[in-house]
Amino acid sequence: MAFSAATRMTAFLAGASLAALALCLDVLKSRGFVPYNADDPKLFPLIAAYFLVTVVVGIQNLFPAELKTRVRFVYFPTTRAAWAVMFNCWGRMLAWFLGGASVVVLAASTRYLAQ
């Protein structure tokens, strides 16, 4: 089965969508449309599942061949290609965080300007 590759843009959008989901739930609760917001314990499984779905590690990076060592089930960067895989994955994680942070900053600035 072929999986689509995670990119920095998809990572950014995934992080932004998680923050937007939490923000929308907060707005809907404040308007009285839903009885729960994002930090409610009843919605924690939904938020946690959405987080796990949007994690940007990518299915290809769970057990990459570049990180394989002689010891079974031990994956560690020992070559230049392995370090490239690691930095690529870390770059996508940084893009995911920046996507979420940008939505939070945008929402905070619009709430500040609206007052």
Cβ 37 vs Cβ 29: under 8 Å: yes
Q: State how far the Cα of 83 lies from the Cα of 66, in Å rounded to an integer.
A: 9
Per-residue pLDDT of the chain (115 residues; tens, 9 = 90+): 566 677 888 889 989 999 999 899 888 888 899 888 888 888 888 888 888 777 755 666 677 888 888 888 888 888 898 898 888 888 888 998 999 999 999 998 887 776 6
DSSP 3-state assignment of 23? helix
pLDDT of residue 98: 94
Q: What angle do CA 83, 86, 92 make, to 5 degrees?
A: 140
Q: What is the pTM of this model?
A: 0.78
